[in-house]
Amino acid sequence: MEPTSFVLFGATGDLAKRKIYPALYNLFVDQKLPQSFSVIGLGRRELSDEEFQARVEQSLHDYSRREANDPVLIKNFISSFHYNVLNIGHKEDYQRLLQRIEQREDELALPPNRIFYLSVGPEYFDVIASNIKESGLGSAKGWKRLLIEKPFGHDLQSARDLNQKLSKAFAEEEIFRIDHYLGKPMVQELGILQQNNSVLDALWTNRYIANVQITANETVGVEERAGYYDQVGAVRDMFQNHMLQLLMMLAIHLPKNSTSEEVRLKKKKVMESLEPLQKQDVISNVVRGQYKAGTIQGNPVIGYTSEPNIAETSMNDTFIAAKLRIDAAFWREVPFYIRTGKRMKEKSTRIVIEFKEPLKQQSSANNESNIPNLLVFEISPNEGITLQLNTRDPQHKGEFKPIHIDFHTSRQDMPEAYENLLYDALHGDPTFFAHWDEVELSWKWVQPILHAFEENLVPLHHYQAGTYGPAESDELLAKDGYHWWFDS
Ligand code: BG6
């Protein structure tokens, strides 16, 4: 791996502490960082290098997947970290930063390969990108890469505007848009499994699949993010990005050994084939919800509009369920049901593929054993795959009972999403980052929902915290003769 400078904007922020430093540390322990590696942390407050290093070390103790208890290892790791004060709008600060980076490049004999990670609010993305360009920080002889987090825009137009501004300083292949769901190990497995197992590959079609259910339930509420969340809701916070990325990853049909370019084109194709929603479709195919007070795992929690800094009259969505269709050969007529919500009964992200029922004609209508085959991908907090099959019950001849073929991994062995993503970014592998085409097409598809919500065309259903969302979400499937699996 090529030696690199890792320049982190927002180095004293929450994401850096919780995710980025622990991920870098775990890569370091696994010897997956370049031999020569320099991290320059940037923030508004004054900090010495030592103070910064102490913060980084603390974050490892608090959040690292692996124990951080070997003082020599930790010292080696944090000695790569240095800190610079930077005010995002001050051009002269970028000049000072350039000198500091060059000084470290000289000291470590590093080529001028630079990653700029913007772990800051999206309102700063374009200012930073243009200052990187104007200061000459991005015009060294080596390569440069820009890493940014969602949200990428607020709607189609703002996303396009932002992309246009960024593209003045960075080419598309230099922009790595993080969607952390794409870094989750099971999500990365989705395409691979279908691609490398003929048994799955053969089944991956509307001939056998009845429907697909994609769920991302959370137990947390709005937390301390009222200012952000009340402006975006579940549709922008989760649906436009994470949920549609899960859909793309599941629906692509990849030939073996596909290149990252092929993956991108296939994902784009899925988005292009998603049947667009008209206003009327939004009303019948989308359910909007907001949590009210309830109990989660024995603990009482307050309703959304009683949360600090949320207006009593807020109509923001904390839950969304939708039915989508992909108008492409393999998927025609297969409904995809997607839902995500806060303050749900349990934390679980999973994809369930329900197969058509070969046993239907053979068994009586009320027969309990008449259970379809299911293929379940558990994405988080557990990671695993389960295949539900029907076997004959030896005790009760003539009846069938489901058995489960299970594969589960222990979390400890699994790299965190950010480890996978940072590793790929260091390698320059864009496969698991959101390409602009995907982002643009996702916003385009979601836009009618945003309008319908704004115009209040879709009723806001209140659901009790600690449940699986409003009853209307169940009805969405019931209309087609299905139900959400594993709601209990
Ligand atoms: C973030 C959202 O992108 O994803 C949060 O902004 C949400 O609101 C989080 O809680 C969920 O991520 P995960 O990995 O815990 O499912």
**pLDDT tens digits for range 167-181:** 999 999 999 999 999
Judge whether 334 and 323 are in contact, CB under 8 Å.
no
The predicted complex's ipTM stands at 0.99
Give residue-wise pLDDT tens across range 49-101: 999 999 999 999 999 999 999 999 999 999 999 999 999 999 999 999 999 99
184 carries a ligand binding annotation: yes
What value does the mean pLDDT take over residues 201-220? 95
User: Which residues, 6+ apart, have CB-to-CB distance to 406 below 8 Å?
Assistant: 384, 385, 386
State the distance from the centre of ligand 1 to the C-alpha of 423, rounded, in angstroms: 21
Q: What's CA 225's distance to the chain center, in Å?
A: 18
R_g of the chain, CA atoms, integer Å:
24
Is the bond preceding residue 394 a cis peptide, omega within 30 degrees?
no
pTM of this prediction exceeds 0.90:
yes
Kindly state the average pLDDT of the residues 339-348.
97
Per-residue b or e along 252-284, where b marks 16 or more CB atoms closer than 10 Å to that residue's CB: bbbeeebeeeebbebbbbbbebbeebeeebbee
pLDDT at 295 over 90: yes
Range 155-162 average pLDDT: 97
Question: β-strands 299-301, 294-296: how paired?
Answer: antiparallel
Q: How far is the CA of 352 from the centre of ligand 1 (A)?
A: 20
H helices of 82-155, where? Answer: 91-108, 125-135
Q: Is 451 a catalytic residue?
A: no
Q: What is the pLDDT of residue 412?
A: 67
- Contact residues for 70 (Cβ-Cβ < 8 A; gap 6+): none
Residue of 237, 244, 416 to mutate, ligand 1, most atoms within 8 A of C-beta: 237
Predicted local confidence at residue 369, as pLDDT: 53
Residues lining ligand 1, Cβ inside 6 A? 216, 218, 220, 237, 349, 380
16 marked ligand binding residue: yes
pLDDT, position 256: 82
Q: Measured between alpha carbons, how far is 375 from 201 in angstroms, rounded to an integer?
A: 13
Q: Which residue has the tokens 């949320």?
A: 310
Q: Report which ligand 1 atom has the smallest distance to the Cα of 242.
A: 3
Residue 267's nearest CA partner among 150, 439, 423 is: 439
pLDDT for the residue numbered 361: 47
327 assigned to a ligand binding site = no
| Choice among 90, 154, 242, 451 that is catalytic | 242
